Amino acid sequence: MQPEDFGYDFREWVSPYTKGAHVMGHFALVLQDWSSEDTLKAGVNPDVQELGRTRSLRTNIRLERLLCSVLGISFEETYATNIFPFIKPGGISASIPKRDVLQAALAFAKLELEIVNPTQILALGKMPSIVMKEIGVQCVCLPHPAHRGYSFEEHQRIWDRLLGGHSSV
């Protein structure tokens, strides 16, 4: 399914995330998916339609804090997309078969990133990291920002170590 099946209008974007973060040629963020059927059944959220994301979602809060503290940039100063640009069935934490993610990444994300031509691609989470490598895209593999196994400080240390010591903390 597509966001439009739930009343949203993101037809001009591969991923709704890209609407709020489409700076080409610098950092590209690649997450797994944008949303789920269960989440979108609540109806259209005007902020989501405008920004392409729910700012209050744990993933987005942590991601914005990490970008600012480690790289000194905002979410809006990146190019953000998802390797699976469709709406997944079930809840927000539902899994997607790897073959489906791989097929979508080859059809959309790989070509999208070739056009965007970022200087560095950050794959956020296990599935994006695995799939990006399998389709031959060079990237820095980072834990998902909402990974409950890490505190914000642990995420910050990991990002800082893997991104070359850019942290301002």
Compute the distance between CA of residue 95 and CA of residue 130 in angstroms, rounded to an integer: 14
pLDDT band, very low/low/confident/very high, at 169 (cuts 50, 70, 90): very low
**pTM for this predicted structure:** 0.93
Task: Tokens for 43, please give them.
Answer: 């109806």
Compute the distance between CA of residue 137 and CA of residue 165 in angstroms, rounded to an integer: 23
Query: At 15, is the secondary structure helix, strand, or coil?
Result: coil
The pLDDT score that the predictor gives to residue 111 is 95
Compute the distance between CA of residue 8 and CA of residue 2 in angstroms, rounded to an integer: 9
Compute the distance between CA of residue 13 and CA of residue 17 in angstroms, rounded to an integer: 8
Report the share of the chain in percent with pLDDT over 70: 97
Residue 144 lies in a domain: yes
Residue 169 lies in a domain: no
What is the count of structural domains for the chain?
1
DSSP code of residue 26 = S
* CATH number where 135 lies: 3.40.470.10
Residue 32 lies in a domain: yes
Residue 168 lies in a domain: no
Residue 118 lies in a domain: yes
Of 9, 48, 17, the closest CA to residue 34 belongs to 17
Over residues 97-120, mean pLDDT: 96
The pLDDT score that the predictor gives to residue 168 is 41
Residue 97 lies in a domain: yes
Compute the distance between CA of residue 107 and CA of residue 21 in angstroms, rounded to an integer: 21
Residue 19 structural domain: 3-162
Residue 4, pLDDT > 90, answer yes
Over residues 155-165, mean pLDDT: 89
Over residues 20-32, mean pLDDT: 94
Over residues 28-41, mean pLDDT: 94
Residue 7, pLDDT > 80, answer yes
pLDDT single digits (tens) 59-97: 999 999 999 999 999 999 999 999 999 999 999 889 999
Strands (DSSP E) contained in 17-65 are: 27-33
pLDDT single digits (tens) 144-156: 998 888 999 999 9
Average model confidence (pLDDT) across the chain: 93
Looking at residue 34, its amino acid is W
pLDDT band, very low/low/confident/very high, at 166 (cuts 50, 70, 90): low
The pLDDT score that the predictor gives to residue 164 is 79
Q: Which residues of 13-30 are buried (b: 16+ CB within 10 A; e: fewer)?
A: bebbbbbbbbbeeebbbb
The pLDDT score that the predictor gives to residue 165 is 59
Residue 116 lies in a domain: yes
Residue 71 lies in a domain: yes
Over residues 110-121, mean pLDDT: 96
